[in-house]
């Protein structure tokens, strides 16, 4: 996953408003008391679009991803902006950082690539170790409604002068995942096309499952938000944002604010 695809990813995602995405993460971190100069690790950082935006805001960013090709694109982009951001190849399920963070993020559907409660728990436990007491975990993911009804069994295609793609999805209702199959055609200088094939699988996770697993690890003040809004999500929300806090050692453990609006 994400090999040759990494070289065209940003062109395919050119219409995504990453500055607004990053500003909402800033809003959540500010609400949870994360300092603007704090140390923040972004898991599933991809080509670093959100990482770089948060670095511009003053956060000391580290980017983590499983794909060396995506990390190469991220490091090139960061270098062009003058940002000094370490990008590290790691599996976020076994996240291991040389220093504790004020916050860990998991962005842009990173959680949807974890297939079950065991893998989610592995990630949450790794974050628990990686983040300071009083620090936070902040993430976003595509909702089950989006995976089944928007992506679902749909075909999508588009074309520009430089690139075209065919995107075929298959939703498995019995096991709660969607297979994403892309054929991408990139125009070359000699007017031929390079074909890039990409297959991904994303898993649907309920909000209740996520909050139960977070609280089982020890996180408190777990809250669910609509897509880039400080309000409770609608039943047909396409993206959830979730925030949680690692309590201080001297705090009495509580069940937190279970998936409520702050």
Structure tokens at 194: 């390079």
pLDDT at 252: 55
CA terminus-to-terminus distance, the chain: 37
User: What are the distances in angstroms from CA 115 to CA 101, 196, 223, 252?
Assistant: 26, 25, 22, 32
pLDDT tens for 188-204 read 877 777 888 888 899 99
pLDDT bracket for residue 226 (50, 70, 90): very high
pLDDT tens for 134-193 read 999 999 999 999 999 999 988 888 877 787 878 899 999 999 999 999 888 887 877 777
Cβ atoms of 134 and 33 within 8 Å: the answer is yes
pLDDT at 253: 52
User: What are the distances in angstroms from CA 81 to CA 23, 36, 75, 84, 261?
Assistant: 18, 19, 10, 9, 36
Average pLDDT, the chain: 90
Phi then psi dihedrals of residue 241, to 5 deg = -110, 140
Global pTM? 0.89
Measure CA 253 to chain center.
27
Geometric angle at alpha carbon 144, from 101 and 120, rounded to 5°: 35
């Amino acid at each position: 996953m994400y090999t040759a695809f990494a070289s065209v990813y940003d062109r395919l995602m050119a219409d995504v408003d990453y500055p607004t995405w990053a500003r909402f993460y800033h809003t959540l971190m500010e609400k949870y008391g994360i300092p603007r100069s704090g140390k923040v690790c972004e898991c599933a950082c991809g080509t670093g679009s959100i990482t770089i935006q948060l670095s511009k805001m003053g956060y000391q960013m580290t980017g983590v991803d499983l794909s060396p090709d995506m990390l190469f694109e991220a490091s090139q982009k960061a270098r062009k902006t003058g940002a000094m951001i370490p990008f590290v190849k790691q599996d976020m399920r076994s996240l291991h950082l040389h220093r504790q963070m004020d916050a860990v993020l998991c962005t842009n559907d990173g959680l949807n690539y974890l297939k079950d409660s065991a893998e989610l728990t592995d990630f949450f436990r790794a974050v628990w170790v990686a983040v300071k007491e009083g620090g936070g975990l902040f993430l976003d993911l595509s909702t089950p409604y989006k995976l089944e009804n928007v992506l679902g069994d749909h075909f999508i295609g588009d074309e520009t002068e430089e690139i075209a793609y065919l995107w075929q999805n298959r939703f498995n209702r019995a096991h709660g995942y969607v297979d994403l199959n892309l054929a991408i055609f990139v125009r070359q200088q000699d007017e031929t096309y390079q074909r890039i094939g990409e297959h991904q699988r994303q898993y649907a996770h309920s909000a209740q499952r996520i909050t139960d697993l977070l609280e089982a690890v020890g996180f408190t003040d777990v809250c669910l938000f609509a897509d880039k809004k400080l309000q409770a999500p609608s039943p047909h929300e396409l993206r959830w944002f979730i925030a949680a806090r690692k309590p201080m050692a001297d705090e009495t453990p509580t069940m937190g604010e279970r998936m409520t609006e702050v």
